Amino acid sequence: MPLTRRDFAKSSAYTGVALVGSAGVLATAPGALASEPAEDLTTDAAERGGARLGYGPLVTDPKGLLALPAGFSYRVITRTGQTKLESGESTPSNHDGTATFEGTRGATLLVNNHELKGPRADWPHPVPLTEGLVYDPAASGGCTVVEVSKHGDHVTEWVGIAGTSTNCAGGSTPWGTWLTCEETEDKAGKNGMTKDHGYVFEVDPHDRRANRDPKPIKALGRYAHEAVVVDSKRGHLYLTEDASGPNGLFYRWVPPRGFEHGRGKLRTLADDAGVLQAPKCFDSGGNFIDDLSRATKTGTVYGVDWVDVPDRDAKSVPVRKQFDVGQVTRARKLEGMWWGDGGTYIVSSYAREESPVAHDGQVWFYDPKRRTLTLKVLLGVNPDPSKDGAFDGPDNITVSPYGGLVIAEDGEGVQHLFGATDDGRTYPIARNELNIGTAEEPEYSEFTGVCFSPDGRTLYANIQTPGIMLAITGPWRRQRPRG
């Protein structure tokens, strides 16, 4: 039986994630509610309903980096070209997916992906080829491990894996490791690579020895990986693919019978272990859904069947092209994921002419018990991305300990971190003010790697270009529903 709005709200008492976005007008302004007319979609209108929304307006940063609400502050943790690794080399550039882990003596460990594609010569600050940690010496990407002391007064950074390509998102595991995902399909001989790419690798932030001799987890498939989450109850892994022509897929990996998860166990799997599957969705009338963009109202629920992938290593045909029309359900720009509330939240960042219906962002919730996908967030096409106020292009997401979601923007124009409450309202948390363009044609890099510290007191996020990791602190409080 599909989840109702009331059932979902009850099951989300801790994480606070519920129906977010809009129907009909598809408005994206702060304070937007699906049930409000477009002219009332303002922060003031939202606040008249009861509990104060968010943390107030963003205050311009005199340093020109990060606008935050009054009472909040930030600290730069790493910055490409300025901070250095233990080895003395620069922090690599193009920060992307990130997760936090508890370190020793109250420290926080962060594993930080670096989305660097192609030959090393193309990048001024690739991930250093640290001995024993290199998969393909021709590749420029990888990830680093950042240790922040208990009081935030000391930062150390070292390489977790090197010689991988286009390390975009990924995901943490219940056993305390990081799965870094390559968003590429390059094979040996293409773009200077000496090995095939498009895999998932496991990185242990606590044990450097465990990261030696990197081995791709080929059982999870070779394609343009974006993010991954683990269902600790069933042992399944869910993965997203950011690709087009045709649009990419959302995958499920079912482990072989008797397999038990744990540190380093995934790298022991045979290349064909378990089953990799893609979804086939149906509406309430039993009609096949070819693309998730067809959902135009939050609360839309689709049933999900799973179809086996014929050749997960894509030896001759990319995985997403191995299915005929009518066999699987696709979506454009499948990006961030986060496990919570007994299922996984899945982002489709935008859809345009390559999709049946245009939008500027969806977030879906997959319930593995009911095998349903429910549309939780729907952002309409932003008419003027250069103006502050509207949100578009969701990418990395996390579930907030204060209720709801925190979402990183990767859209056009102005870039935000924004929150979404459990009753459907949105509010700004931060705005990137680092102009990497010109005064006449400003350009602002996307936010990535949004995640909270293990104690929930610090929100970490990255500005991808040039590569800046930020720690945001302030008077966090629970974002309660209205009334």
How many Å apart are CA 109 and CA 98, to the nearest integer?
10
What is the sign, positive or negative, of the torsion defined by CA atoms of 452, 456, 459, 460? negative
How many Å apart are CA 131 and CA 129, to the nearest integer?
6
Is the model's pLDDT at 330 over the cut of 50?
A: yes
- pLDDT for the residue numbered 404: 86
pLDDT tens sequence across 55-79: 999 999 999 999 999 999 999 999 9
Is the model's pLDDT at 328 over the cut of 50?
A: yes
Q: Specify the higher pLDDT residue, 46 or 429.
A: 429
CB-based contact 82:93 (threshold 8 Å): no
Is the model's pLDDT at 259 over the cut of 80?
A: yes
What ranges do the domains of the chain cover?
1-79+382-483
Band of residue 7 on the pLDDT scale cut at 50, 70, 90: very low
Contact residues for 259 (Cβ-Cβ < 8 A; gap 6+):
235, 265, 269, 273, 274
State how far the alpha carbon of 219 is from the alpha carbons of 187, 253, 269, in Å.
17, 8, 7
User: Mean pLDDT, the chain, as a whole number?
Assistant: 89
First to last CA, the chain: 29
- pLDDT for the residue numbered 17: 31
pLDDT tens sequence across 234-246: 999 999 999 999 9
Contact residues for 388 (Cβ-Cβ < 8 A; gap 6+):
414, 431
Least confident of 20-34, 307-321, 371-385: 20-34
Angle at 404 between CA 349 and CA 445, to 5 degrees: 40
Angle at 107 between CA 106 and CA 112, to 5 degrees: 150
Band of residue 322 on the pLDDT scale cut at 50, 70, 90: very high
Band of residue 483 on the pLDDT scale cut at 50, 70, 90: low
Is the model's pLDDT at 306 over the cut of 90?
A: yes
Least confident of 6-20, 88-102, 127-141, 436-450: 6-20
Is the model's pLDDT at 289 over the cut of 50?
A: yes
Is the model's pLDDT at 93 over the cut of 90?
A: yes
Is the model's pLDDT at 31 over the cut of 90?
A: no
The conformation of residue 45, written as its DSSP 8-state character, comes to H
For residue 85, the Cα-to-chain-centroid distance in whole angstroms is 25
Band of residue 26 on the pLDDT scale cut at 50, 70, 90: very low
- pLDDT for the residue numbered 337: 96
Which among 267, 246, 220 is positioned nearest to 324, based on CA atoms? 246
b/e for 103-117, b at 16 or more Cβ within 10 A?
A: beeebbbbbbbbbbb
CB-based contact 342:404 (threshold 8 Å): no
Band of residue 479 on the pLDDT scale cut at 50, 70, 90: confident
- Residue identified by tokens 């870094």 is 180
